[in-house]
Chains A and B, each alone.
Chain A
């Protein structure tokens, strides 16, 4: 498969819209072609950015009116009083919450430990690449 042919298919590859046979061909080519690999990375970045844009909620059409109404109502004494009371209460709650140790789930502990082990091995091998230590891939360690 040529570079030109692969480059036209990268978009489908990233979107998962490809037959298994084609997928293997593209994978094989990208694994041995730094140019196509780089382009694939760019595609992945663009796709993620677009997904994030899609996911962002649209502002409701009446938002400006609602904001104005809120500002007007905040001028009432009642609101000022409530606000004055709420701020210290919220601050106190935040301080207490930050100092209280939160229970950790076992899956969270697993992930923390695996990441610690993986990152140490990655950086041992990376900082001494000709030591023969294998530059493991994070997922390969995670999957153990």
Chain B
């Protein structure tokens, strides 16, 4: 047996700290807790004694009485140490016996390689000065303070200073978008905002003064409770109406006065506001208390990781993740922490930091390790890892093969997979210094936490998969949710499924030896391509359809694609209803509209009944098991186990390929002719029968009612008739003509839709190209803000050929060219623009129209997808690595890590919509830039990972007249409500410049200001 203690450690460390604690626990227990399992058992059974012993053993700074450890055994409401008072910052920073105060506490590495080091003494002094400055500015217990800072030394100082004076701190990265920031911080009513816009080394277009001003304005405007803004980066002070803005300058403040004493506050005094990453709606804001955080982290760091003053701990994170708060607490052990605020430029980036700074315990994400593996990087061959003694991973499942790679390419250090969450600001499962690493499993459960897997009825299961619950109280639960006065949201988040237990929402199996493996999200949550979806979201939406009596969403392993899964929706129909294609389509449409693409099922299957437990609960798990060809684990708990075979048969039948490729019958629903449908809808909308040729509006119909009529047409007979077509002849006869004439949708139909009427019919119209979904919805905010006199049109058509094959960009563009040339609405010169995928379409449309002799006055490419196929080999490799890494930087990537992982490891379990998206990426990648000699304006997103430029060189090779205009935002939120106004203004300006160029007027005379630069 190899343990972390003897495997990678130097001889200096003989006995892990947990052995020392065990001695004390054994004394308290009056029994020998010799094995880790016995120790865990005791710590759970006697959790009050455990926490009491830990509090004493850890030698923390506190006052009051620790006689009452927990106020009850109720997980939901128990409070720990109600009579203990302490200060988290004091505990992290105070001088430690046997630890040299000159030991490096913080090593902050910047993107440019520069390093800032603070000893424990220096860090303490800086926190003291900053705390004094904050107190002088009125920050006191009860204040919530937002700190926007990259992961550098200042972030540590600021957070600890706020906590030192009794404030509650919430951190985020300064380059997060205002929507994300406001989604979090508008919930917490902060009184102060502390800004660190990053040092001058961080530069680039998104640098401190450049792009951040508008974002800051939006943020500050959205936080009405703010009383002051403090600028900690030494840069110029921004101005905000009615707000006090001051510099928080440590040196200047040094002379400011007597240090304020740091109060010891109640154990539950909130020190952090954390946000759980919800799947919909704003993230839940939760308060974490000083004592709970401190004790939990002391336990994890000292007992499970065995950190002490000899260690240097580096867990790569941003300030917006709970990992940051957790690594901060490592200071309590005397260990030094390493911070890094630069980008991950390649697989070597973090390993180099590990080597350069003598890191002993390194934390990274499984995707990062996977990147190293994929790119053939072998850390042990490249850098000196002699000091490294353990590697932690968290945030995603660590796969079996990653252990093999690690042993081969890194070394014998234990690789520990940690699983927990923001909700508990800690870990449920993690490593253990006395236990050997187990390939594919987390070694142990967190001490004193009664973490088990349970079945549907809440009974513990060992050796098989169950729901992760914690059955006893623990100090690091959130002390409260914000905006949840009666605790209802808190209750619903964790305590509904299994009363009396904390249900976390993960599926695990716990082996006899206490080791744990994760099996994805539990029943309660579907994991569709990495997107977490609560089935109730689906049920809520679908239940509004009167045809549906009951429904169940099940994630099924895709029988046709190994490793993939798909969303199956089982529906029980209301009496007399039949599940036809139209109804299935309507269900999909309503889920897409009110949910998201991820909510759209691959299969909709009608079944007579749903598996239900004796308690009357739906059992998604039973359905999932049977659909996956497994024996349902909880069959005995079902009152209708016979339903399962029916379901399995129905799904198998519905999923047969033949059934799926069967063409959708063209509409006439229920055999009703177009004229009958039209007459009925007129009658029902107008509430009286009218003649065939009577104008809808003459008969008293209003415009609002015309919308209702078209909606009912869409819903009841699946026919989409445009308002335009209706208004051309708003009579029963006119409508029935439209219905009879047009087949549902012609594959080659191109729509040129007026999005906004211009004021000057002679002005050049702007055509916006279909985006990745085949529609133009993404331009909504942009259109609103465009300042142009011309009409604005959306141009879109089918995404697939008659054979069902997805069209290439060039083919799509060819069809759109034909559509535009045939359009009655658009003639003469045109301006064209497109975003991302649509940018590529726009480019080829412009080429096509120009080739057909049309005057293309303007072509705007809005951060188009990089034309990978136009790159040369090495360029492509560099781009690929960089785009993968971008996923680690919040706000930089439109792919989440989980999505990417899902793509990488599970291949296709994707819904039709998701497949289409992936297809689009594939198609965009195959796009080649062909020469175009017209003027092109390239609108480039300001925020981007350094390596990922926009491959401008690939464009420049083919486009001699390329102008580049920088616009705010990152690729994915370029057209969001926040950024659209600026993007629209720059497009409008470029449009005017193009117009001026065309008619030969100086730009200024056209009212446009200077031409776009770049």
A binds B: no
